[in-house]
Amino acid sequence: MLPAKPNCHNEVSFKRFLSVGTHKTKKITQSCCRRKMEEKEDDTKISIADPIQDHQETTFSFDFRTEFLQDENKTPFFKPRSRRRRRDTCVIFAFVIIHLVVFLITMAVNDCGYNSHGDCAFKALGRMSFQPLLENPFLGPSASALDKMGAIRKTLLAEHQTWRLFMCPLLHAGVFHFMINLLCIIFLGIYLEKEFGSIRTGIIYMLSAFSGTLVTAIFVRDSPAVCSSGALFGLLGATVSALTRNWKFYTNKVAALLTLFFVAGFNLMLGLLPYMDNYSSIGSMISGFLLGLVLFYTPKLRQVAQNKIGLCEYGVKSSFNWKQKLDRPVLRSASLILFSLLFVGLLVAVLLGINISHYCRWCRYIDCIPYKRWSCNDLTSSCETMGGDKELTLTCMGNGNFRVFPFTNISQERTQDLCTLICS
């Protein structure tokens, strides 16, 4: 009787089976073991080839993770890399509050209900009501009120009223101008302050705004001009320099540039209307761009101890090593020199009373588009006044236009406003 079929993996049972001596059984057993050995060899080949495949898969996975980490280090523009809290953006909010206070004071000084004898827009606002749209398309004060508050005018600068250079950047042409300008300043200013700090953002805000006012002073015509848009364009220029200089740290850069150009273009179009000034916008944008190249170096931040640092900066402290502080010294030095030469040159030109508009006739179209309700030329408005008991008649000596007003008690400044309106 033949023994049971042997197990090829069991060496003891295999030897017992060989001892029986049956030829047929040996042949079956040898073929069985041969198949088992071939299966083992195939498994060995597969196991030898598998580490190479595993290594290739591991290498691919490592490259993918590295690429993912590189993309993870980039952030969308307008999303600050640092994490300062809202109270750390006190400089921009301080400027916004100052602009709001000055605008309210300007409207109170305007007092349309009294000075214009009720010929106002939104009369329900009383003392704070606006001049008619025909007089001020931005729903704001009169030209004489802007003159009182510090608007720049060629004849007033000729009288060496230099204090206007400091008040003009705080004035707005009207409520529309105020809302658009302040919303854009908040949008850009908070981002820059969170990304680069309050001190540097505040320096760029003030220096670029004042530089734009100096540009206005050497191009201004004999009509009031306000320069509050200069601060906005200074922040725009600084934002463009921050984006281009730190290009590798951000995503969606083309969309960010298009957004900045849209904001600039829209505000420049508004600057073609009366009272707003495009000269300050252009000058401030150039100044802001140069200052951004100087101050907005690579924003590589690391977390350190939480304590108070700098002006109004709390929470996460930004640490910059010497390599970052000396980042691109040639570019920063050249930008600083260019800005210094521009600033000093403009200041000297203003103090000497230079007015480029006398030599550049076409330059006025940068700031104004001729329209039937206003003129882009210097107007020496002169009107003949005829008054009765209840009516006042003003006749423009230049074009013969006249208008009858149902009042007589009117100030000389307001008379000049109405004369300019009739002659334009």
CA angle (10, 15, 17) in 5-degree steps: 95
Higher-confidence residue of 152 and 383: namely 152
**What is the mean predicted confidence (pLDDT) over 129-140?**
88
Q: Decide if 339 contacts 287 (C-beta within 8 A).
A: yes
91-95, 322-326, 372-376 — which is least confidently predicted? 322-326
State the maximum Cα–Cα separation within the chain, in Å, rounded to a whole number. 149
Residue 121: per-residue pLDDT:
87
How far, in Å, are 5, 36, 42, 87, 95 from residue 12 at the CA level?
13, 17, 25, 84, 95
Residues 241-291 pLDDT 10s: 988 887 777 777 788 888 899 999 999 998 888 888 899 999 999 999 999
Residues 141-159 pLDDT 10s: 998 899 999 999 888 888 8
Distance of alpha carbon 311 from its chain centroid, rounded?
A: 21
56-60, 79-83, 323-327 — which is least confidently predicted? 56-60
Residue 30: per-residue pLDDT:
54
Whether pLDDT at 39 is above 70? no
Give whichever of 13-17, 21-25, 288-292 has the largest mean pLDDT.
288-292
46-55, 112-121, 345-354 — which is least confidently predicted? 46-55
53-57, 139-143, 149-153, 223-227 — which is least confidently predicted? 53-57
d(CA 130, CA 123): 8
**What is the mean predicted confidence (pLDDT) over 310-333?**
56
Higher-confidence residue of 106 and 309: namely 106
Whether pLDDT at 36 is above 60? no
Residue 243: which of 288, 209, 284 has the closest Cα?
288
Banded pLDDT at 130 (limits 50, 70, 90): very high
Residue 233: which of 203, 259, 270, 263 has the closest Cα?
263
Angle separating helix axes 253-270 and 278-295, nearest 10 degrees? 150
Whether pLDDT at 318 is above 50? no
Residue 306: per-residue pLDDT:
43
Torsion angle of C-alpha atoms 117, 120, 123, 126, degrees rounded to 10: -60
d(CA 141, CA 173): 7
Banded pLDDT at 77 (limits 50, 70, 90): low
Whether pLDDT at 377 is above 70? no
**What is the mean predicted confidence (pLDDT) over 342-365?**
87
Provide the mean pLDDT of the chain: 76
| 136 token code pair | 């001020």
Can you give the pTM of this predicted structure? 0.72
Burial of 91 (0-12, 13-18, 19+ CB in 10 A): buried
CB burial readout 372-395, b (16+ within 10 A) else e: eebbbeebebebeeeeeeeebebb
Higher-confidence residue of 385 and 50: namely 385
Residue 240, C-beta contacts closer than 8 angstroms, at least 6 positions apart: 257, 260, 289, 292
**What is the mean predicted confidence (pLDDT) over 27-53?**
49
Burial of 272 (0-12, 13-18, 19+ CB in 10 A): middle
Residue 284: per-residue pLDDT:
95
d(CA 363, CA 21): 118
What is the C-alpha radius of gyration for the chain, rounded to an integer number of angstroms? 38
Whether pLDDT at 416 is above 50? yes
CB burial readout 312-343, b (16+ within 10 A) else e: bbeebbbeeeeeeeeeeeeebeebeebbeebb
Banded pLDDT at 376 (limits 50, 70, 90): low
Residue 74: per-residue pLDDT:
63
d(CA 276, CA 283): 14
Residue 151: per-residue pLDDT:
92
Whether pLDDT at 50 is above 70? no
**What is the mean predicted confidence (pLDDT) over 191-198?**
87
